[in-house]
Structure 1
Amino acid sequence: MTDPVLRIVKGDPTPEELAALIAVVTARATAPAPPPDTTRASNWSSYWRNARTPLRPGPNQWRASAHP
């Protein structure tokens, strides 16, 4: 015997409410996956964005710029 996929742990749903829940879960499980996001920056450009620390202007910051 297999374990049930859904189990009601609280409350007493009507048959109509249970049918609605099963319909939503089934529709969500069979829905196609969303298309991949093509607006994302390439791995190469996003790497350099994160690899370098931002510049912080201020007095004597030129000294700190030579020591990462």
Structure 2
Amino acid sequence: MSDEEAKPVLRVVKGDLTPEELAALVAVVAARNAAAAHAAARAVKRPRSEWGHPARLARTPHRFGPDQWRRSAWA
């Protein structure tokens, strides 16, 4: 058994906790750890998808000329 496996993660120094109180304490500490890990994961910047960019809603002005109704979908 290595030293890391033998070390307790949480140790109660004072008081006499019931099993229910200890379970509540462990749940609170675990929830706080999970929230911190979630916040750290969300802090990582990911590239923004261009599919939902508002500039895609703006279209170029319609140009008049022969066959422009077909080319208007590509511009």
Report the TM range for the smaller structure's normalisation.
Answer: 0.3 to 0.5
Structure possessing the higher relative contact order (Cα contacts under 8 Å, 6 or more residues apart): 2
Per the normalisation by structure 2, the TM-score is 0.42
Report the structure, 1 or 2, having the larger helix content.
2
